Chain A
């Protein structure tokens, strides 16, 4: 079956621009997580959704970052006024949270480069 899909796979943008990163989770997965991974580091938690609502957004670094999941499926991570320090791989994962201790299934990420 289809796994987690993230688009685009690569995004290059200029400092100060706005970007949107999209995540299509596995069908039927109720939980969706966003992480940011810098080179040589582990995934850093940003936000997770249970259904349509953000259950925990404590990892969002500042108010330039925002994420939505309006219908409980596809999610979009939005970054305003991008800075060079935002350059990283943004990973999305989904799971069957609430049905046991379900592991995360990851997409291959969006590599964001801010020039």
Chain B
């Protein structure tokens, strides 16, 4: 069965304190791995797509990486406005897209 597990469930960091969020997955025929950001009361907002092991994508203070079993979202020198829930999702061979439970990130000023 396809599965996505994110850790930690919640993370509190001081402003400027870099860290990484983890997404482990089991999927039949990975077609893509996605990272989304979700703010309270809003729908998820797309950040990155990764297709194959070894691939990396960057956007401002965020960098996403992918291996055959997991993906990391690295946050460098975060700011309070980076506080949000970060969701990982995988698209399987049948095009079904399933999500993890997310990591709630809180950046303290």
Q: What residues of chain A have their CB less than 8 Å away from a CB belonging to chain B?
A: 4, 31, 33, 35, 40-45, 48, 50, 55-56, 58, 91, 93, 97, 101, 103-109
Contacts and interface: CB of A to CB of B under 8 A. Distances in A.
Given A41-B101, A42-B101, A101-B32, A55 B45 contact: no
Quick one: which of B45, B89, B96, B97 has the most chain A CB within 10 A? Answer: B97
A93 B95 CA distance: 14
Given A101-B31, A103-B34, A4 B43 contact: yes
A108 to B, nearest CB: 5
B74 to A, nearest CB: 20
Interface of B: 4, 6, 31-32, 34, 36, 41-46, 49, 51, 87, 89, 91, 94-102
Contact of B87 (A31, A43, A97): A43
B49 A35 contact: no
B101 A93 contact: no
Contacts of A33: 97
3 nearest interchain CB pairs? A106-B43, A101-B32, A42-B99
A93 B43 contact: yes
A104 B43 CA distance: 11
A50 B94 CA distance: 12
B96 A105 contact: no
Contacts of B91: 101
A103 B46 contact: yes
B103 to A, nearest CB: 10
A102 to B, nearest CB: 8
B72 to A, nearest CB: 17
Contact of A101 (B42, B51, B87, B99): B51
A91 B4 CA distance: 19
Given A43-B44, A108-B43, A103 B49 contact: yes
Given A103-B34, A104-B46, A42 B87 contact: yes
Contact of B43 (A41, A56, A58, A107): A107
Contact of A108 (B31, B42, B101): B42
7 contacts: A42-B4, A42-B99, A44-B99, A56-B94, A101-B31, A101-B49, A104-B97
